[in-house]
Amino acid sequence: MSLTIWLTGLPSAGKSTLASEVGKLLDKRGLDFEILDGDVMREYLTKDLGFSRLDRDNNVRRIGYVAQLLASHDVIAICPVISPYRQARAEVRQLHPPGRFLEVYIATALALCEERDVKGLYAKARSGEVANMTGIDDPYEVPEAPELTVDTGQRTIEECCDQIFALAMARLDSLATQRPPSQAGTP
């Protein structure tokens, strides 16, 4: 029994860092997990997609489908993916059985994301070199009812990670108690 932890937020909000740290905590517990990082997925799984709204939504759908497959095989899927549009995130949630999808909004302020931007994408967007940059000239639709909101500008990575991990463990515990009794030995 497993689930998907979907980390959404602006570029450079801390999603990948948090995914890695949550993964370390899961590993210490002996739990199987995979990180489906949006940047890595764009390199291998969704290389054919651009940055139009349709392509971004298809990117999210593909990653969400893989996450659901992993979760259905008892692998926790951690997905640090910008996923800027609510509708695409809702579609991914619908792929999962009830309770098996945790949307975590990384609510880091745009100014801090711009400061952290190691790729220089925000500066390129502000200078007109890059178009359709989420948070600059393309919208980021803030989740309306995420299971958790963390702000890496207000709390340490460790504190945010601990919150995400605690939520995931509580959900897994809750799901385990809802599991029907084993039918072993029954014809």
> pLDDT tens digits for 115-152?
999 889 999 999 999 999 999 999 999 999 999 999 99
Name the residue ranges covered by the structural domains of the chain: 4-176
Give me the pLDDT at residue 186, please: 43
| Lookup: tokens for 137 | 């000239």
Res. 177 pLDDT band, cuts 50 70 90: confident
Q: What are the pLDDT digits (tens) for 92-106?
A: 999 999 999 999 999
Give strand ranges (E) for 10-67. 33-35
Pick the CATH number of 4-176 from 3.65.10.10, 3.60.15.10, 3.40.50.300, 3.40.50.1100: 3.40.50.300
pLDDT of residue 168: 97
Tell me the pLDDT band of 178, cut-offs 50, 70 and 90.
confident
> Per the confidence metrics, is the pTM higher than 0.75?
yes
The string of pLDDT tens digits covering residues 28-73 is 999 999 999 998 998 888 889 988 899 999 999 999 999 999 999 9
**pLDDT tens digits along 3-18:** 999 999 999 999 999 9
pLDDT for residue 182? 52
Contacts of 2 (CB under 8 A, 6+ apart): 32, 70, 71, 72, 73, 74, 75, 76, 77, 100, 172
pLDDT of residue 146: 98
Which of the four pLDDT bands, split at 50, 70 and 90, describes residue 1? low
Q: Which long-range contacts (CB under 8 A, 24 or more apart) does 134-140 make?
A: 134/10, 134/11, 134/82, 134/84, 135/10, 135/11, 135/110, 138/51, 138/84, 139/84, 139/85, 140/9, 140/10, 140/82, 140/84
pLDDT score, position 124: 94
Q: In the predicted model, what is the mean pLDDT of residues 74-103?
A: 97
pLDDT of residue 180: 58
CB atoms within 10 A of CB 148: 18
Q: Would you please indicate which residues are annotated as catalytic (active-site) residues?
A: 83
